[in-house]
Amino acid sequence: MLYLKNELSVKCNRCGSVMQIDSDNFMYTSIDYERNMGTEVEYDFSTEIPCPECQNDIAILIRGFEYPVGALDHSDYECDGGVLLESPDLEVEYEPDGEIEVKEDNA
């Protein structure tokens, strides 16, 4: 599972106001794909907010790809109506599906 670690600073393209957007303001969806080394998961984090000063609409989309599961392969982002002042920081939180069973050889 990927999650967005940091609060983002965004500068409005219309008035230049800078605002902070907490990671809790983002909604996320995920899509699974089967590839050679197993499952690839694409996570899309998105939010739309009005600038508090001029009401300009600002839309942010952050994409992260986990492949193989448990490893961040790559990420990218788009910001319409504003500029992100720092890159989003995505982190993998990996939890194996089940416990590994160890069989003893009693030969």
Distance CA 33, CA 40 (A): 5
| pLDDT the model gives residue 100 | 44
Lowest mean pLDDT among 1-5, 8-12, 55-59, 102-106: 102-106
Structure tokens at 41: 């998961």
The string of pLDDT tens digits covering residues 2-55 is 999 999 999 999 999 999 999 999 999 999 999 988 999 999 999 999 999 999
Q: What is the pLDDT of residue 104?
A: 55
CA triple 21-91-3, angle to 5 deg: 50
